[in-house]
């Protein structure tokens, strides 16, 4: 029974996290990272992991052992970078596990490249702690994210001024996502927030709009939304209103905005590749486009094809925050494209990921199934996987084809041959010759 309980705990809990609250490893997320790590005076060892990563799972006992040994001296944390991709992206995480040590300068963490053992991790952490102590003894000060880590660098023009008269039109009747600060000009906390708010507005441009409303002047809207203190920040989207309770630095605000943008973005449409324009829309206007080549309709009738398209649609929804383009084509219908991407050698269906800017592509070598494609796309999303140059080093030409009508395929009808005018005697005679 104990073994069964342990297995269940691994299956149920291990899907989203690797460390329990009693492990000594602190769970870090976009909402607490700035406060716990960047704004802290402590030295931190931080692992960026993915729950499905085998190497991460193997590291767990050693990392927990290091956390227990460093207790009270150096703090040890872990980020589920599969769930919190914005945080992993912020620190250039490309593979798992990635360990970084945040020492004297919190804005420039040190990459840990030592052995994955508790002793090696402890030695590296203590080395960084000693360096910090010696630097502070000599009069040097570290850089944290408090006053400088995130403020500045933004444009005041990117923060939209809101009033009682324009609030409904700009915010409430908009299809855009909004973060709105209700402030008072005399408020010290509002003044401290201003450079961070400006920087966040610039970084989130095109994803989430940031506005500011002087609640001492425009009291109608401030009263409607129950503003009692300053600054008060609320998130608005299509009639829904949510209190923002995150940190007050640019990175906190940007992380929140990116998470909201990722959740609310519309899933991509899986478009049939019928002409040049479709390919350009999918591949030139997106960082990566996913190209599926499905079997001919005579080899895979409507039910079969629709199952493939439904599976691709589901995966498109899963990776929608990546903002990729998605297209599909019937086998052999776009021969130039297939040749350029080495599609067809392994049969159909087939799938490739194309970076049209770099003219590089990766080809799915595993199974054309939900799990197989998901594994392939997951590697693509983290910049992993083997790529090859597109043949011809340019976007291949696309033939104009008729869009699929959604029906089953049928062989062309055989033409009836009228033999009434044929003289069989003549045929027999010809045969004797």
Q: Which residues are catalytic?
A: 53, 56, 187, 190
Please, is 131 exposed, middle or buried when counting C-beta atoms within 10 Å of its C-beta (0-12, 13-18, 19+)?
middle
Residue for token pair 């089953």: 408
* Strand order across the 388-389 sheet: 271-272, 325-330, 289-294, 350-355, 360-363, 388-389
Give the whole-angstrom CA distance, residue 407 versus residue 165: 53
* Contacts with 35 (C-beta within 8 Å, 6 or more apart), sequence order: 247
Give the whole-angstrom CA distance, residue 16 versus residue 294: 34
Both tokens assigned to 390: 């597109």
CA angle at 329 for the pair 327 and 333, rounded to the nearest 5°: 145
Give the whole-angstrom CA distance, residue 208 versus residue 236: 10
Contact (CB, 8 A) for 24 and 74: no
- List Cα–Cα distances, 420 to 227, 349, 416, 424, 429, in angstroms: 94, 47, 12, 10, 18
Contacts of the segment 187-192: beta carbons below 8 A, 24+ positions apart: 187/230, 187/231, 189/230, 189/231, 189/248, 190/230, 190/231, 192/248
Contact (CB, 8 A) for 330 and 294: yes
Residue for token pair 């995966």: 315
- List Cα–Cα distances, 231 to 156, 190, 227, 411, in angstroms: 17, 5, 9, 70
Phi, psi of 184 (to 5 degrees): -125, 135
How many Å is the Cα radius of gyration of the chain? Answer: 29
Tell which residue, 111, 107, 132, has the closest CA to residue 34: 107
Q: Is the dihedral of CA 325, 330, 334, 339 positive or negative?
A: positive
* Strand order across the 177-183 sheet: 159-162, 208-214, 177-183, 232-237, 240-243
* Contacts with 355 (C-beta within 8 Å, 6 or more apart), sequence order: 287, 288, 361, 387
């Amino acid at each position: 029974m104990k073994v069964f309980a342990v297995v269940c705990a691994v299956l149920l809990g291990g899907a989203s996290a690797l460390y329990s609250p009693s492990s000594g490893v602190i769970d870090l997320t976009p909402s607490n990272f700035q406060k716990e790590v960047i704004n802290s005076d402590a030295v931190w060892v931080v692992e960026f992991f993915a729950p499905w990563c085998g190497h991460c799972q193997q590291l767990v006992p050693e990392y927990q052992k290091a956390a227990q040994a460093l207790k009270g001296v150096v703090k040890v944390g872990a980020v589920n970078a599969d769930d919190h991709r914005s945080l992993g992206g912020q620190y250039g995480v490309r593979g798992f596990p990635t360990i970084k040590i945040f020492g004297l300068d919190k804005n420039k963490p040190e990459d840990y490249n030592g052995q994955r053992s508790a002793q090696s991790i402890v030695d590296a952490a203590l080395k960084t702690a000693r360096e910090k102590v010696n630097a502070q003894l000599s009069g040097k000060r570290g850089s944290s994210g408090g006053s400088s880590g995130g403020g500045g660098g933004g444009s005041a023009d990117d923060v939209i001024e809101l009033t009682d008269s324009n609030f409904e039109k700009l915010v409430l009747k908009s299809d855009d996502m909004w973060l709105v600060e209700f402030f008072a000009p005399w408020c010290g906390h509002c003044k401290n927030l201003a450079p961070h708010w400006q920087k966040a507005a610039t970084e989130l441009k095109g994803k989430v709009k940031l506005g500011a409303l002087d609640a001492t002047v425009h009291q109608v809207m401030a009263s409607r939304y129950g503003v009692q203190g300053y600054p008060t920040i609320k998130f608005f989207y299509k009639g829904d209103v949510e209190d923002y309770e995150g940190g007050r630095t640019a990175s906190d605000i940007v992380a929140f905005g990116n998470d909201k943008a990722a959740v609310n973005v519309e899933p991509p449409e899986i478009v049939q590749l019928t002409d040049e324009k479709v390919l350009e829309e999918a591949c030139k206007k997106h960082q990566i486009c996913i190209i599926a080549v499905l079997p001919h309709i005579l080899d895979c009738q409507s039910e079969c094809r629709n199952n493939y398209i439904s599976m691709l649609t589901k995966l498109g929804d899963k990776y929608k925050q990546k903002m990729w383009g998605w297209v599909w084509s019937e086998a052999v219908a776009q021969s130039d494209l297939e040749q350029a991407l080495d599609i067809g050698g392994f049969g159909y269906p087939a799938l490739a990921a194309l970076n049209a800017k770099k003219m590089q592509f990766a080809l799915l070598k595993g199974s054309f199934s939900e799990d197989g494609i998901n594994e392939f796309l997951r590697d693509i999303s983290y910049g992993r996987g083997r790529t090859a140059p597109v043949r011809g080093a340019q976007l291949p030409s696309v033939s104009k084809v008729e869009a699929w009508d959604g029906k089953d395929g049928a062989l062309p009808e055989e033409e009836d041959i009228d033999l009434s005018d044929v003289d069989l005697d003549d045929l027999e005679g010809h045969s004797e010759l």
